């Protein structure tokens, strides 16, 4: 069985650090951080843990920036999303490269989803 490593991109690392700073005083951010850590463990146990994104829906920004050809998402606490891709880099291990950690509205914008209803 191959080893699995979870690595955060610069963008994901920045989001994680911002959540960490805010988690000192905000309960929601603490729960999001806990769920990130839990999902990282789940991905290490099963790299295909997340929901696959159809290839035609992979945002071009990720293809251009990272040269990816697969994308998975997992739901975090408070409807946040974590996006990751899998690679083996020619090694005897699988790398789950976390590209982004986003709020639900930011995720919807990135994926091009339209809002069906207006929140009051």
Residue ranges of domains in the chain? 3-111
CA distance 30 to 52: 26
pLDDT tens profile 8-47: 999 999 999 999 999 989 999 999 999 999 999 999 999 9
pLDDT tens profile 43-97: 999 999 999 999 999 999 999 999 999 999 999 999 999 999 998 766 667 889 9
Q: What is the pTM assigned to this prediction?
A: 0.86
pLDDT of 116 reads 54
Q: What CATH topology corresponds to 3-111?
A: YaeB-like fold (3.30.2310)
Secondary structure (DSSP) of the chain: --EEEEEE-HHHHHHHHHHHHHHTT-HHHHHHHHHHHHHHHHHHH-TT-SEEPPGGGS-HHHHHHH--S--EEEE-GGG-EEEEEEE-TTSSEEEEEEEEEE-HHHHHHHHTPPPSS---
């Amino acid at each position: 069985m191959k080893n699995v490593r979870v690595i955060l991109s610069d963008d994901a690392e920045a989001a994680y650090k911002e959540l960490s700073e805010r988690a000192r005083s905000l309960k929601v951010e603490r729960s999001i951080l806990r769920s990130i850590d839990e999902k990282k463990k789940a991905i290490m146990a099963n790299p295909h843990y997340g929901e696959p994104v159809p290839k035609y829906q992979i945002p071009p920004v990720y293809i251009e920036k990272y040269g990816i050809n697969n994308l998975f998402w997992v739901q975090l606490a408070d409807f946040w999303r974590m996006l990751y891709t899998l690679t083996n880099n020619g090694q005897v291990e699988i790398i789950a490269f976390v590209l982004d950690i986003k709020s639900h509205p930011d995720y919807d914008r990135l994926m091009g989803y339209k809002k069906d209803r207006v929140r009051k």
